[in-house]
Structure 1
Amino acid sequence: MREKLLKILLQHKDGFVSGEKISLELGCSRTAVWKHIEELRKDGYEVDSAPRKGYRIIKKANGIQSHEVNIHLETERIGRSISYYDAIDSTQIIAHKLAQEGMEEGHIVIANEQTSGRGRLGRSWYSKGGTSISMSLILRPKLSPQQTPQLTLLSAVAVIRGVKKITGIDCEIKWPNDVLINGKKIVGILTEMQSDPDYVHSVIIGIGLNVNQQTTDFEPDIQRLATSLSIETGQQIERSRLIAAILGEFEWLYDEYLENGFSMIRGLWEAHAVSVGTYIYARTPKQVIYGYAQGITDEGVLLVQDEQGTIHHIYSADIEIAKQT
């Protein structure tokens, strides 16, 4: 109901819309309309009302509840089912639980604040309430477990395309899943799966995106490493529109991938990859490899040629781009 009410108010954002018109379109009483308006105000929307004129929306909230995302969503199935939490420990944990219980593909778990989020290699990812996007997407692709790393790369492409669509900013990708602006991180992506040795039951893709944080919102030790879309643009970004844009990009890329394979996704990924076509340090749990990053395989494995000409297949590592002298 609130989604329909929001759509009506936004369609008439330049003027008032009468309570009678709203009640007819919603199929409810004028009293019910007033109650729904009050609920929107509690969510942070500024709604003006005037006798014999009706209601008009003055200011939108920057929320990410299901009705706020759905008014912008243009997908057929990705994101059409949403679990929203104002504060939660980890969207990944909830998404895993829902997947085990049989939740359909395309369902997303969204949190306004995430207190115990997880990144790659067991690192933490804290998401301050009201400033960021924390979401986990449930997929059920018919893939082998060896192919699932490709979905991490696909997700990175979807994120940078969604960010470009909403903000105009061109982002870069550092293998395998960090999205950067001017060398500073704004996005982390974590892909996990539930599988048997030869069969994938589900894939959970977690996306954490710094949207409206200011510099002081970051701990001093990461201020030089992280940034947000608001810092880079000088504007507040509407998170619900950004979520919808990312999900829209993800759906068509995912459909293309399932139908035609990884080649197009690979090309789009490499076009934005700062860690390809340059010299890097790849820090694995066992060693540090210095060499030239040639590109990625169809499995998403990074190929690095060292100074002796040996080509290393990098499956998991921290990547540092070598400074040019």
Structure 2
Amino acid sequence: MSEDINIAIVAALIDAQPGYLSGSSLADSLELSRVSIKAHMDQLKNEGLRIEAIRNRGYRLISLPESLHPSVLEAMLRHERVTADFRFYKSIDSTNTEAERALADGCPTPLVIAAGHQTKGRGRLGREWFSEDPGNIYMSFVFRPHLAPSRMQRFTLWMGLELCAELHDQFDAPLMLKWPNDLVANGKKVAGILTEARIDSDQTRDLVLGCGININSNMDNWPEEIRQRATTLSQLKGTALDINQLGAALIRRGLNAYDAFVDGSYEKDFDSRWHRFNALEGQTVTITDHHGDHIGTIEGIDEAGALLMRDKSGITKTYQAGDVTLSGGLKPWVA
């Protein structure tokens, strides 16, 4: 109950910005005493919100926490008119693992699980995803699409393209999608996507899409190997970003992107998104799969989202999976 009240208070403070919110009117609307309102305000201050209190004027929100905050994030989600179920964990083993547990327990979907810290983050091909920094966002979208597996082939690409679009349109972040699931800028990784599904004979029953996005991390705390190949949005922008606002915007965009994918309306935008945010078009790359290394020039993707590469002999081959390494660095982003 206390958490619900805090969410309502934060939402009211955000709506009142940049003005003041009357303590008495807030107490009346929440059916609480002025003393109780002050206690909740003090709690929120202790949790990192800067709130100014002026006699006969009320309360004013000056600034929000620099890390993910459950009440602030949920208030932002209400502001974005997001109605999906939402769970937040200060720390968890993995949001994708928690999504699997939630599905096993029969959770309603869509569900979004977010965390400020992961102890066992997962990447593609069983790799570990370094996710111990509270300045980042780790989240999983949980769905039960009940669609034929053949319809899901471009799902991860579409979701990655939409996240790129949101980060560019709302935060002017010059990200591109490196097939099949990395968001990159200036040749360095900013975010990764991991899609996991439970498939019956004729339909995709359960679907989890996990995202790890580097926002305001202190890169000095990263292992040297990761600093060489990854960066953060704040590093790209030269300033810290509002992580709760950004998280809410990405959740809203992700849920809307899923709806568009399920009803098929995404198809009218897919090609334009792909040409705008594809980091590999015309690039010379090495694709590594279980057959070894394959060198050639990227020509695009097919209808199923598989990568098309022309090798040195001029033959175009199709790759459903593999790690892509670029020979000359990523092309610059163009608006």
The 1-side partners of 2:284 and 2:225 are apart by: 26
133, 142, 146: which one aligns with 2:146: 142
Check whether the contact 2:111–2:141 (CA below 8 A) recurs between aligned residues: yes
The 1-side partners of 2:112 and 2:194 are apart by: 14
Check whether the contact 1:150–1:262 (CA below 8 A) recurs between aligned residues: no
Q: TM-score, normalised by structure 2?
A: 0.89
Distance 1:67 1:265, change over 3 A: farther
The 2-side partners of 1:211 and 1:233 are apart by: 10
Check whether the contact 1:156–1:269 (CA below 8 A) recurs between aligned residues: no
305, 308, 322: which one aligns with 2:310: 305
The 2-side partners of 1:150 and 1:118 are apart by: 21
Aligned-pair CA distance for 1:282: 0.5
Written as runs of structure 1 = structure 2, the 5 A alignment for 1:1-325 is 1-73=5-77, 74-77=80-83, 80-260=84-264, 263=267, 264-323=269-328
Which deviates more, 265-274 or 166-175?
265-274
The 1-side partners of 2:253 and 2:195 are apart by: 18
SS of match in other structure, 2:154: helix
Which deviates more, 13-22 or 157-166?
13-22
Distance 1:214 1:285, change over 3 A: same
Aligned-pair CA distance for 1:310: 2.7
The 1-side partners of 2:40 and 2:216 are apart by: 28
Unaligned runs of 5+ in 1: none
SS of match in other structure, 1:290: strand
The 2-side partners of 1:218 and 1:166 are apart by: 27
- 1:171-225 Cα distance to aligned partner (Å, 9 max, x none): 1111101111111100000000122232211110000000001331321122121
Check whether the contact 2:91–2:116 (CA below 8 A) recurs between aligned residues: yes
Count, aligned residues: 322
Which deviates more, 110-119 or 29-38?
29-38
The 2-side partners of 1:248 and 1:132 are apart by: 18
- 1:106-133 Cα distance to aligned partner (Å, 9 max, x none): 2111111112101111111122342100
Letter in 2 for 1:117: G
| Structure 1 vs Structure 2 CA RMSD | 2.0
SS of match in other structure, 1:281: strand
User: Deviating runs (4+, > 6 A) in structure 1?
Assistant: none
The 1-side partners of 2:223 and 2:308 are apart by: 34
Check whether the contact 1:17–1:54 (CA below 8 A) recurs between aligned residues: yes
Which deviates more, 201-210 or 306-315?
306-315
SS of match in other structure, 1:127: coil
- 1:11-44 Cα distance to aligned partner (Å, 9 max, x none): 3344443321210122211122122112212321
Letter in 2 for 1:178: D
Letter in 2 for 1:205: L
Aligned-pair CA distance for 1:293: 1.4
The 2-side partners of 1:101 and 1:156 are apart by: 28
Q: TM-score, normalised by structure 1?
A: 0.92
Aligned-pair CA distance for 1:151: 1.7
Distance 1:5 1:75, change over 3 A: closer
The 1-side partners of 2:220 and 2:281 are apart by: 32
Check whether the contact 2:288–2:323 (CA below 8 A) recurs between aligned residues: yes
- 1:253-304 Cα distance to aligned partner (Å, 9 max, x none): 3333222366332441242111122221101122111112111122221111
Unaligned runs of 5+ in 2: 330-335
- 1:126-152 Cα distance to aligned partner (Å, 9 max, x none): 223421000001012132224334221
Check whether the contact 2:11–2:76 (CA below 8 A) recurs between aligned residues: no
Q: Percent of counterpart pairs with the same letter? A: 27
Distance 1:75 1:281, change over 3 A: farther
Question: Which structure has the highest strand share of the two?
Answer: 1
SS of match in other structure, 1:254: helix
The 1-side partners of 2:70 and 2:302 are apart by: 37
